Amino acid sequence: MINATKKWIFLKISGVILIPLMLWFIINFIKIYDQDYLTVVTFFSTPLSKFLFSIFIINAYFFSALSISEVFEDYIKEDKIKNVANRLLYVSAVVIPLITIILISIL
């Protein structure tokens, strides 16, 4: 299978997975928006919330990294700069969700 086809399939799958996770997050964010600190910590302390939020963060960064990578492919002509930009993008798409998940799991 061609690499571009794989990216396209992964973009579509991760986009479909993001829809219910985003709805879940928006609904719960509205519920805890004006609450005190303890309520927010209690929400993120439940195992289901930790799991769903972790999947949401991983999938959102995966989706955004693939999308931005396509922009790099289209608009950056020099291969060295494109490769460096893609590598930095993929490293940040792994590191930032990991840090977020570690900090949430500490709660």
| Residue among 65, 61, 99 nearest 85 (CA) | 65
pLDDT for 3 equals 81
pLDDT for 104 equals 84
Domain hosting residue 16, numbered range: 3-106
pLDDT at 14 over 80: yes
What distance in Å separates the CA atoms of residue 76 and residue 82, rounded to the nearest whole number?
6
The number of distinct structural domains making up the chain is 1
pTM to 2 decimal places: 0.83
Beta strands in 1-107 (DSSP E): none
CATH of the domain at 54: 1.20.1300.10
